[in-house]
Amino acid sequence: MAIDNGRNDGGNGHKGDQAKGSALFEVIQGIDFERRELVGKRQGSGDFDLVKDNGGKDRCYACTLCERTCPVDCIDIGYTASDPMLGSAIAAPEDAAPPVDMKLFDPIIAGIRSGSGLVEALHATQEAYGFLPRPALEGIADQMNLPLSRIYGVASFYGQFRLKPVGKHVIEVCLGTACHVRGAPLVVEAFSQELEIPVGGTTPDGLFTLQTVNCLGACALAPVVRLGTDETVGRLGPNEARRLVRRLRKQEVRA
């Protein structure tokens, strides 16, 4: 099988002629890999134009991979209040987020100082607040001496972490293989219609949040739904899903 290596040297293998015509050649000429610094270019900072998708939206998810792999350590990703994507994703103060009681954060600080890792600290924070509020993420970054962007990158990578407040009742519908073939997508649609919110949304009254998960480990009871962290309901059809929401609403009214 022939491989087109992009060379235009007539097959004589003049590597220099090929390299000078490539964009990569132009880039690496400005990097001193031994000293890990730029050569012949002034240092500076500013906003970069992110690669956009077909819909015109930024495709950057703040994974911080570019920052961690930059050969000259010239990339430093940080939060700015003018950034609508990152600002809303980590619940900036101007968002409609509930007040954060930082007293709940004291045990987490103590855990970090005693040697707990980042993921452990994020789990403890979510258990304390129900989600990961921005002031807590800033506190973790400060205690661990890490950029906020790196904390956010880890928190947004794992699906079990929530960056926005959730409702009193978190409804998680399993979409694993067993649940899917037994009608779980119809159950999700029933919940969405009854609650009038999309998957990932929270009702305006703050009572319900609808989410989907890949597996709940109860395939024999498919389709399976989990309420919060305590209750699992099996063999739930669309009609049962609607009745479940109505029952929970009635309980809230009586309470």
pLDDT in tens, 8-53: 444 444 444 444 555 555 555 666 666 655 666 555 555 555 566 6
**DSSP string for residues in 169-199:** EEEEEE-SHHHHHTTHHHHHHHHHHHHT--T
Indicate the class that CATH gives domain 169-254: alpha beta
pLDDT of residue 173: 96
pLDDT of residue 230: 81
Asked if residue 6 lies in contact with residue 19, where contact means CB atoms within 8 angstroms, the answer is no
DSSP 3-state of 158? coil
Across 1-5, 107-111, 117-121, 134-138, least confident range? 1-5
> Could you tell me whether strands 169-174 and 37-38 are parallel, antiparallel, or unpaired per DSSP bridges?
unpaired
Task: State if pTM tops 0.95.
Answer: no
| Cβ neighbours of residue 62 closer than 8 Å, sequence gap 6 or more | 77, 86, 89, 149, 152, 153, 156
Angstrom distance (rounded) from CA 81 to CA 98? 18
pLDDT of residue 30: 60
pLDDT of residue 159: 77
Asked if residue 59 lies in contact with residue 49, where contact means CB atoms within 8 angstroms, the answer is no
| Cβ neighbours of residue 81 closer than 8 Å, sequence gap 6 or more | 87, 92
pLDDT of residue 68: 67
pLDDT tens by residue, 148-162: 888 988 998 887 888
| Cβ neighbours of residue 148 closer than 8 Å, sequence gap 6 or more | 78, 79, 137, 138, 141
Residue 113 has pLDDT above 80, yes or no: yes
pLDDT of residue 130: 87
CATH 3.40.30.10 domain range(s) in the chain: 169-254
Residue 5 has pLDDT above 90, yes or no: no
pLDDT tens by residue, 191-242: 999 999 999 899 999 999 999 999 999 999 999 999 987 899 999 999 999 9
pLDDT band, very low/low/confident/very high, at 93 (cuts 50, 70, 90):
very low
pLDDT of residue 55: 76
Across 3-12, 71-80, 178-187, least confident range? 3-12
CA atoms within 13 A on the CB side of 250: 6
pLDDT of residue 65: 66
Residue 84 has pLDDT above 50, yes or no: no
